[in-house]
Structure 1
């Protein structure tokens, strides 16, 4: 199911939790554009952006910082991503499953992007809200990473925990549930939202994998969508988000990662009505706002993460993107953080 819509199964159980927290689920749903029926019917199509806003509003209105994690408990990746899970189920190894999930995630939704980046000691599976999918991704990033990690754990040895789980946002005051779900190796204010995977887990075979079924599912999924790969702009966005903190992240770097020439990359982007510079600029604008709002990084640190030589350069870009200075934005965010609604009394 390509595009910005996702199945409402992702909202299963939300209404009951909200009532337990002393709030009315219908009121929160209406504020975020979620149809009330979507809270009880798992097969409706709803906006991925609205779902992200819904998760954030519930967490704020109900004062449940761990709402996304609570929603992930008992959630099954197959139920969330639908037919795409059939492809993952028939991957030969855990690494192939990660590659398939990242490569074909657009078949589930374009509201988020995923990238798999191999390293010498294993690999990183990145998740991020896509450009324009919402100002905040704290709750959804924790839900998504927890749900994906649950699927990976099913193929690992008993007691396996990842060598690292990373989030761009700041750590909550209470990490008890985070440690129970993710393990002890948590990193906040990080360069990305990602699961760090070691070579041993990546090489683990899928006991139920059937290569011929995988090939058939892959063909059917892409034939139904009328394309053979994710849109080039989504591939580029995902790679920029993964590579940006580690260097210049130039068009040459991204084209090399895609296995094509820089000229071919530019031609494909032109055909899609995009340019490398505009996508990179949009990613920087999106990440700058999220870092300032949800991480504990200062302007100098944010500038470095986004590939700027100094905070002055970031400030000029930030004013162009958002019509205000970095300092003014920080003051406004601190003022808003002090205004938290109280849950209604039951």
Structure 2
């Protein structure tokens, strides 16, 4: 079953693409999408096709450095209303914490790909953004767009000029950072251990002056009346949870099942009824994350081994060799060589 997302990001893409010298209609057609996606934000499109639009845009040769800012520019243009039918419910939540908690139950209205997890440590909160895609690396533009959309929600709740403590990206920095610094702020860390936003823990519970409990209840009633298209995929829910929790040392079945509101035994049973195994899903996500981390030169093989839950680098190397037919160091060298050659 394909991973689907709303086409709202493409309605933003249209004007921004023209600004940097890209023909948006041609890009969509090359990606196999109907140009109506540029003006219809509530269509459900394959996430892979959205990624293909960015690939075509980057390959167009029209302002390549500017094309590399497309994700950040779309995030900058994002508004609360771009969350579609969910926006009224989010707008009237009493705090940012409550708004973030409302996303997961209605995530199917936004994206099959995205999950947001709040991690709190002392006086700091980190909003971890994870994307489950059919590709090992979702691509920097998709990541920056998604983190940008989350930041737009943060600013809708905390004020348009709100500056987070830091914004983190696992991918390497682009050639130019003017757009990124203008939107995300000066404190951007690339080559990080996660994608997401760091803020003061107290900001999660700062009162939203626009909150209206009656409008929130009305919005929720309307959302609950809307039909849900397609079946809920438990395996995809597990994949998203593993993506978020594995790099934080919590990829075992207990924390994953807790995030999904199930007991470990129930989760195992329901997966087996669908022909899936938890260990296979962990291995799948681990392989995807391994390739993504190895493609970033700042991350050592030892650090990657630890983040993926291996007791020592040698165990990671044996597992990787069995999965990919070569040790992680050799795979990484070949990856960097392809990058230098432009392939």
TM-score of the alignment, normalized to the shorter chain, above 0.5? yes
What's the CA shift for 1:97? 0.5
Deviation at 1:16, TM superposition (A): 4.7
Structure 1 partner of 2:58:
59
Instruction: Say which structure, 1 or 2, has more relative contact order (CA 8 Å, 6+ apart).
Output: 1
Query: In 2, are the aligned partners of 1:3 and 1:109 still within 8 Å (CA)?
Result: no
Which one of 289, 296, 303 corresponds to residue 298 of structure 2?
296
Equivalent residue for 2:187? Answer: 185
Match of 1:92 among 69, 91, 94: 94
**What's 2:172 paired with?**
170
Q: Structure 1 287/242 Cα, relative in aligned 2: closer, same or farther at 3 Å?
A: same
1:65 Cα offset (Å) = 2.3
* Counterparts of 2:300 and 2:185, CA distance in 1: 28
Q: Which residue of 2 aligns with 1:344?
A: none
Instruction: Say if 1:39 and 1:160 are closer, same or farther in 2 by CA, change over 3 A.
Output: closer
| Residue 333 (structure 2) pairs with residue 334 (structure 1) | no
Native 8 Å contact 2:135 2:288 kept in 1: no
- What is the alpha-carbon root mean square deviation over aligned residues? 3.1
* In structure 2, C-alpha distance between the alignment counterparts of 1:13 and 1:97, rounded to whole Å: 23
Residues of 1 paired with 2:36 and 2:326: CA distance? 39
Give the whole-Å Cα distance in 2 for the aligned partners of 1:315 and 1:27.
43
Separation in structure 1 between the aligned mates of residue 159 and residue 12 of structure 2, nearest angstrom = 30
Conservation of the 8 A alpha-carbon contact between 2:129 and 2:196: yes
Q: How far did residue 204 of structure 1 move? A: 1.9
- Does residue 1:36 correspond to 2:35, yes or no? yes
Deviation at 1:36, TM superposition (A): 3.3
Moved more, 135-144 or 261-270: 261-270
Task: Answer whether contact 1:48 1:133 (CA < 8 A) is retained.
Answer: no
Deviations 1:319-339, CA, capped at 9 Å, x for gaps = 444455434432332233234
How many residue pairs get aligned? The number is 338
Using the size of structure 2 for normalisation, the TM-score is 0.84
CA gap of 1:226–1:29, structure 2 versus 1, over 3 A, is closer
In structure 2, relative to structure 1, the CA distance for the partners of 1:204 and 1:241 (3 Å cut) is: same
SS in 2 for 1:127: strand
Q: Report the Cα distance in structure 1 between the residues aligned to 2:94 and 2:163, rounded to whole angstroms.
A: 21
Instruction: Identify unmatched segments of 5+ residues in structure 2.
Output: none
User: What TM-score does the superposition give when structure 1 sets the normalisation length?
Assistant: 0.83
Deviation at 1:163, TM superposition (A): 1.6
Unaligned 5+ runs, structure 1: 342-346
Q: Aligned equivalents of 2:182 and 2:208: distance in 1? A: 25
Secondary structure in 2 matching 1:73: helix
